Amino acid sequence: MKFFLCVFGMVMVVEGLPYFASPTKMKFVIEKILEMPDKALQKFGLVLMLAGIFLVYLGKR
């Protein structure tokens, strides 16, 4: 459980970094994401999940 909390905390830090560093640019990015079709977002999400699984595999190897 401690490891999970550490990983979850690091994810939150990485996710929050762009909003802290450049909030104006993040608003622009969010507007562009809202304009994207659902299928494109699904494909992007799938690629991110697969990349994450691959990184976890490399880390555990």
5-52, pLDDT tens digit by residue?
A: 999 999 999 999 999 999 999 999 999 999 999 999 999 999 999 999
Q: What is the largest CA-CA distance in the chain?
A: 39
* CB atoms closer than 10 angstroms to residue 26: 13
Yes or no: say if 41 and 33 are a contact pair by the CB < 8 Å rule: yes
What's the DSSP call for residue 36? S
**pLDDT value for 31:** 96
